Chain A
Amino acid sequence: MIKLEHVTKIYPGTTSPAVDDLSFTVPTGEICTIVGPSGCGKTTTMKMVNRLIEPTDGEIYVLNERGEMQNVLEMDPIILRRNIGYVIQQIGLFPHRTILQNMGTVPKLLEWDNTRIRSRAEELLDMMNMPHEFLDRYPHELSGGQRQRIGVARAMASDPPVMLMDEPFGAIDPINRNLLQNEFLRLQQEIKKTILFVTHDIDEAIKMGDKIAILNANGQLEQYDSPAKILSEPANEFIEDFVGADRTLKQLNLIRVEEVMDKKPFLLQSTQSVEEALKAMDEKGQDYAYVVDSDRRLQGYVSRKDLKGKSGWIDEYTTTAATSLPITMNLRDALSEMLMVDYSTICVVDNRDRVRGTVNTAMVQEALMETHSSERREEV
Chain B
Amino acid sequence: MADVVGSVPGNAPLLDVRNLRIEFPTRRGTLLAVDDVSFDIAAGEVLGVVGESGAGKSLTGNAIIGLLEPPGRIADGEIRLEGRRIDNLPYEEMRKVRGAQVGAIFQDPLTSLNPLYSVGRQLVETIQTHLPMSAGQARTRAIDLLKEVGIPGAEQRIDHYPHQFSGGMRQRVVIALALCAGPRLIVADEPTTALDVSIQAQVIALLKRLCRDHGTAVMLVTHDMGVIAETADRVAVMYAGRIAEIGPVREVIKQARHPYTEGLMGSIPSLGHRTERLTQIDGTMPRLTEIPQGCAFNPRCRHRGRRCLVERPDLMPAGAGRAACWLHDPKGVGGAVTGELVDA
A, B co-complexed: no
